[in-house]
Amino acid sequence: MNRIHLRTAGIAMATAAACSALTLAVTVRQQEKNAQDKWASHYYSRVDQFKRENAATRNIVMVGSSHIERFDAAKYLPGRRVVNRGIAADRIGIGERGVLRRLDCSVFNCNPGFIILENGANDLGELWRHGTPSIDEVEQCYRAVVRQISTRLPDVPLVVVGVFPTRGRFAELKPFIVEFNKRLERIAADFGCPFMEVYKPFADDTGLLREELTGDGLHLNDAGYRIWTELIEKILPPRDTRRGEAATE
What pLDDT, on the 0 to 100 scale, is given for residue 54?
A: 80
- Structure confidence at residue 3 (pLDDT): 54
DSSP 219-233: SB-HHHHHHHHHHHH
103: amino acid identity, one letter: L
Q: Do 142 and 119 touch, CB atoms closer than 8 A?
A: yes
- pLDDT string in tens for the chain (249-residue length): 555 554 555 555 555 555 565 565 556 566 666 667 888 999 999 988 888 888 657 899 999 999 999 999 999 999 999 999 999 999 999 999 999 999 999 999 999 999 999 999 999 999 999 999 999 999 999 999 999 999 999 999 999 999 999 999 999 999 999 999 999 999 999 999 999 999 999 999 999 999 999 999 999 999 999 999 999 999 999 886 544 444 444
Task: Identify the pLDDT of residue 38.
Answer: 85
The pTM of this model reads 0.80
d(CA 24, CA 10): 21
CB 97 within 8 A of CB 149: no
The pLDDT score that the predictor gives to residue 71 is 98
Q: What is the DSSP letter of 212?
A: G
Give the pLDDT of residue 51. 85
Compute the distance between CA of residue 8 and CA of residue 81 in angstroms, rounded to an integer.
Answer: 74
Q: What is the rounded distance in angstroms from the CA atom of residue 156 to the CA atom of residue 173?
A: 32
The helix/strand count (H/E) of the chain reads as 9, 7
Percentages of the chain per state (helix, strand, coil), in multiples of 5: 55, 15, 30
Q: Shortest CA distance to 172 belongs to which of 129, 118, 123, 205?
A: 129
Residue 70 burial by CB count (10 A; 0-12/13-18/19+): exposed, middle or buried? middle
In the beta sheet, which residues pair with residue 189?
none
Residue 188: CA count within 13 A, CB half-sphere: 20
Question: Are the beta carbons of 71 and 62 closer than 8 angstroms?
Answer: yes
8 Å CB contact between 135 and 176: yes
Strand partners, 220: 214
How far apart are the C-alpha atoms of 146 and 192, rounded to whole Å?
10
Is the CB of residue 119 less than 8 Å from the CB of residue 75?
no
**pLDDT (0 to 100) of residue 158:** 98
CA torsion 148-161-75-87 (nearest 10°) is 60
